[in-house]
Amino acid sequence: MNTSATGRPRPFVLIILDGWGINSRKEGNAIALAHTPNIDKLVRNWPHTAVRTSGEAVGLPEGQMGNSEVGHQNIGAGKRVLQDYTRVSESIRDGSFYQNPALLKAIEHVKKNSSQLHICGLLGNGGVHAHESHLEALLRLAQMHDVQRVYIHAFTDGRDSSPTGGVEFMQLLQARASALGGEHAAKVATVSGRYYAMDRDNRWDRTGMTYFAMTRAEGLHANSAIEAIQQSYEKKVT
């Protein structure tokens, strides 16, 4: 503990600078090109080290970029925190995903009531809040249990993946759904941007638009999911 001459603890301050990276290259590097006398002084006069903020160092698969949320979790814990993305991916690889009690209970409910299975989630390969491989595993699970009516409510990304990548991800999703389900392939029921579906600042008007699209079929209509995304892009809405 850092103490003063009187033996009293001195205050200890943790300061986090989001987005402050370390790279020896100056080209296109705003931090290296900037005038930063205070940081330079700290580096010159005090012990320091560098920590990795991506991949296995922060509980993600090797090569996967980190993000603010992951970084704060690891700093706060003071150790490597295995992320949900990694845990889900590992469970798919070892097969335990397909024995998950909560998922099997949902499947059982659908089968018992001859109802539909609705899957809602982020569509993309960003790996921060979701990954397309996890959705594929859910579709595979439904196919394993002969669930014939599966509907997907896709939230396009545009933040952790390309702002205009929705069409490509939707094409991949539909191709995989067709390969897995055949004539009973999962269908895309609604498409919404994460700006609406995943708002976390209590803007219930945004969340409500997604909710009512899923439950009341309210909103804009299109002949296909891809057409809906393309129409949005044509309006410069990504």
Enumerate the active-site residues.
68
Question: Position of tokens 């109802």?
Answer: 115
Residue 108 and residue 145 in contact, taking contact as beta carbons nearer than 8 Å: no
Residue 189 and residue 151 in contact, taking contact as beta carbons nearer than 8 Å: yes
- DSSP annotation of 3 reads B
Provide the b/e sequence for 61-72 (b: ≥16 CB within 10 Å). Answer: eeebebbeebbe
Q: In terms of DSSP H, where are the helices of 95-193?
A: 101-113, 132-144, 166-181
Distances (CA, A) of 182 to 104, 125, 187: 22, 24, 11
